[in-house]
A = this chain, B = another copy of it.
Amino acid sequence: MRRNTLGTLIWLRIARFTHQSNLLSNDFLKPFGITAAQFDVLNQIATYQPIKQSELAVKATLSEGGISRMLTRLEQDGYIQRKQEWKTKWISLTSSGEAKMQEVFQHQLTFQTTMVDECLTEEEQKTLYKLMTKLQKNTENKLGC
């Protein structure tokens, strides 16, 4: 009892990093008036628009309900629009949303990149990316069952 394995220590580090980096991201994005979660979704929309709501949920790894709520907020803030066609809703950025991404994207990219660059070498980053990809893909597969 009360003895940890390497595996659980890895989980803990990852969980802590995610939580803390999220706080930092939210702090960083505050002046821009959006949250880290909103940035993620807007970024997916910018990349894939126009995109079905259900497909967006998959890209952002959110539940159907979760994406519905998030899009309601983003719509209220005027960043996105939903165009109903048959039974599907097509999501795209409004010009306001487009402008917001133009404003924020580069900053956020630099912010994230710097955080990693300042503590890991190029070689280490490649290794970390490879290992995290393995781990994440394995987890993703489990989720399907």
The number of times this chain is found in the oligomer is 2
Q: How many of chain A's residues have a CB under 8 angstroms from any CB in B?
A: 57
A132/B61 contact (C-beta < 8 A), A6-B125, A11-B116, A116-B10 known:
no
A131–B124 contact, CB under 8 A? yes
B47–A2 contact, CB under 8 A? yes
A135–B109 contact, CB under 8 A? no
Chain A stretch 11-38: residues in CB contact (< 8 A) with chain B:
11, 13-21, 23-24
Partner of A132, one of B17, B106, B125, B133: B17
Contact with B along A119-134 (1 / 0, CB 8 A): 1101011111101111
- List A residues at the B interface (Cβ < 8 Å): 1-2, 4-11, 13-21, 23-24, 40, 46-47, 61, 102, 105-106, 109, 112-120, 122, 124-129, 131-140, 142-143
